Each structure stands twice: as C-alpha cells, then as structure tokens.
Structure 1
Amino acid sequence: MAIESKFREDKDLAFLQYADWQDLKMLAETLIKDSSGTEQWTGQLKKTLAKNIDMYKSSEEEAYKNSWKGIAAELQLFGGDTIVNLARRKGVLYEEILHDVAQKVDADFHKGTTPIAEVEEKVLRTLFKRITNLDDMNDIYKTLDEKGLLGLTSLESNPWKTIKNGLGVGSGTGAAGAGASAIFAGIKMIPKFAKANPIVAAATLPLTVKDFSSPAYRVTVPAVCIVAMMRTKYNANSSDYDEF
C-alpha cells in the first residue's frame, strides 16, 4: 500500500502542499533518518520519494511537492501507537501529535482552546527560549539531544520484526535479551480475544512492548519543531491562503 493512501485529511497539515520544497525535503529527511544519520523504520516514505524523484528526473522540486501527502502520512504514523496504527491502517491527526509533544516538553496550553500555531510557538519557546527558524537546525538538534529527546530508539529494521526477535524467534536487537522472556510471558497471558483485536491487545501488552509501540517522540519532537517553523514561514510569505 502506497504511503499516500495512509494519509488522513488534516487541515493542520494542508499547508504543506504549498510549502517550500526544500523545507519539505528537510521534514522528510527528519522522518527517514535521525539526527545522527541513522535510518529509521519509516514504512514506505523512502520508496515513495525514490519513485517520485525517478518520475520527475528533471525537477527535484516537483518530486517533493508531489510527495507532500506521503510525508504528512509518515508523520501521522509516527505520532500514533504502532499497534493501533496496525488496526486502523493510518496514523493520527497533527493536532494530536502536537498536543502529545507539547505535554512531553511541558509547554503550557489548553486543549481545544489554544490555536495550533500558538501551541507550536509555546513548544518552540519552551524548548529553545525563543521562536526558531529553519536556519537554526544544528542548534535545534543540539538542544534536543541535550534534553534527551533524540536518538536511542532509532530502529534499523521493521519494528514487528524487532518484537518477534524479542520473543525469541530468531536473533535481533530491541526487546531481545534480558527482557525477552518477560515479554513472552506477558504475551502468553493475553486472552485470545485480545490477540484478535490489536486495540485491545495494546492495552494488555507488557509495559515494555506497549512503550515500544507508543508515539516515537525521537521523531515527532523534531518534526513538530520543523512543521511549526514551516508554518510560520508559510504564513509570513503567503497572503493567498488562510492561516492553517
């Protein structure tokens, strides 16, 4: 299934179709690789970009502009619970991702009443003490790393394979090793009806596996920062569209 087909219509990400293609590329690269350059498991985004770049050989700009839904869909998937994503086949809306990140970094906001752009501003000010721009990415990554919000959990393989390996089926990293027997024991205790329903199973899995499937803050925190700065830039440069 193409990554674009997993995109959920999202008013708060709709402006990406009008964004600068180089900014879209930066966002895509943040979803594909972490700040150290380690490739993360990203569904089919990398393949989608490669296909579009091959299709629009004469214009990298066209390739990225025609990939905006795939990029947005990847962010939505990273923001959702992996196991629940499996059941609904799509991720979550950007507003939920933003609110999760805002809570993660202790930004002061009110769900349902604080506008999206204002929540983004509060996230940036909480993390960096100022409103940053896309030229500040090196300092942004350095600050996020110092705050423990990057790295550590980047995956070099499909997370389901990692869980499988953690259960002692084959060899691998992630949950394998000392925690494998505990995870296996916990999953053996899940009722059969729960195994048939990923959403029910998500609530009954051992903490180690549930945490593994939770929103990937190592990705969503820097991605939200980039989206916030992209929105500020877009709104400042555009008078043709309403503020998203």
Structure 2
Amino acid sequence: MNSTQNLYVKTLSLAGKKRKGAHGSFVQLKHCGNQSSSRTSISSSLKKLQTKTFRQGRAFIYPDSDIYSGLNGFTLTEVLAVVAIIGVLSAIALPNYINQSHRARQSEAAASLTQLQNAIVAFADENGVYPTSWKDLNEVAAIMTPSGATTQNNFGKLTLASSGCESTNQNNCYTVETIHSPQDSLYTLSAIPVDASRKKFNIVACLDLISGSSDFIKGSHAGAADIATLSCRG
C-alpha cells in the first residue's frame, strides 16, 4: 500500500462520524487522500473496510461519491440482452429435459418388459405349458401394478408399477398387453405410455419359446415402434 493509501485509510478511521440512517447506524467518511491517487487502490482499501463492528451493531462504510463516480448500474439494453439470452437457453434446455424425462420412464418400462419375457420362459420351463395370463406369470415372478400384485386372469391391458406411477394418477404410467394365441409359442408384448403426448415412446417386444428368438424395439421422438417390424419368427 503506498503513502497516499496509508493516509486515506488512516483518515477514514479518524474522520468517520456516526449518523442515524433508515436502517440503523452508518458511518459517513470524507476522502482526504490525494486526488491523483489510483481509484483502483482506493477501492481495494474500501473493500477491506467495507464493514466494521461498533458497540451498537454492524455499520457499513460508504465512500464519497467522487470515488465511485465512474461506476454505474446496468443499462436497459444490457438487461434486455441478458433476458434474451436466458430465454434462448431455456428454449434449448427445456425440450431436452422433457425428452430425457420421457426416455427415463421408457427405460424403466423397458426393464419391466424384459422381466415379463423372462417370466414367460420361466413359467413354460417349470410347468411344461404356455402361460395364458398375467396371473400365471405372477406365480414365478411378481407382476406389480400401482395397487399391488396382479391377479388378472388374461393377457389384456395391465398398468405396470413404476416410479411416479400412482393408482390415483396414472399419467406417468405404462400399460402393457401380450398378444398370444392358444398353443402358440410366440408371444408379442406392447407397452404404451398412458400419457398420449408420449405415445411415440412406446416399446414392443416378442419371444418365441420354441426357437428361442426374441426382439425388442423402443420408439423415440422420431416415431413410435411398430410390432410389424419385430422379427421373432421368419
């Protein structure tokens, strides 16, 4: 710190006078330093003395207006530019966030569909017959819905339990159904979002118990998955 700054800081502590303000006790200071002193050095010294504790509480030190006469707030143009930038970033980030949220729920439903395929294989291996209902599959693996394990006696539409899926609000749920003909080894599964706005994020899968072949396709924002494109039987 140079001599001018030493004089200025020392003068601050000697020239300070308390006055009552709207928010408590403040300190009024006079700039007694050399007018040719560097404003940067003075500002640095003021930052170190920005607050000082007095017996009646904490007071703030305010410099003379001529020290900060060159400092101004943001202009309207600058504020509008920042708002515009934030708007552009939001327009880019929000769709990406929504898309990632859809994919996360789709991935959870896809994992459930894989478990259903495994349950079909396990039931056929253990019982020597083809399963014909969700209730059959529930004997080898718990098939959960938002209200608990299923007892549904067919392969009709079933709401899968998942995070965010509730029995009172199924907007975040997936429904699954299995297409199967009696005595046929081919099973085709289809999972569809309850929320119609996410219908493209569906999942289709197939499994042939005789050949052991299986297939699995997930839809995307580009388009929904089609059962006709599955290849489990030539």
Q: What TM-score results when the alignment is normalised by the length of structure 1? A: 0.18
Q: What TM-score results when the alignment is normalised by the length of structure 2? A: 0.19
Higher relative contact order (CA 8 A, sep 6+): 1
Q: Which has the larger radius of gyration?
A: 2
Where is the strand percentage greater, Structure 1 or Structure 2? 2
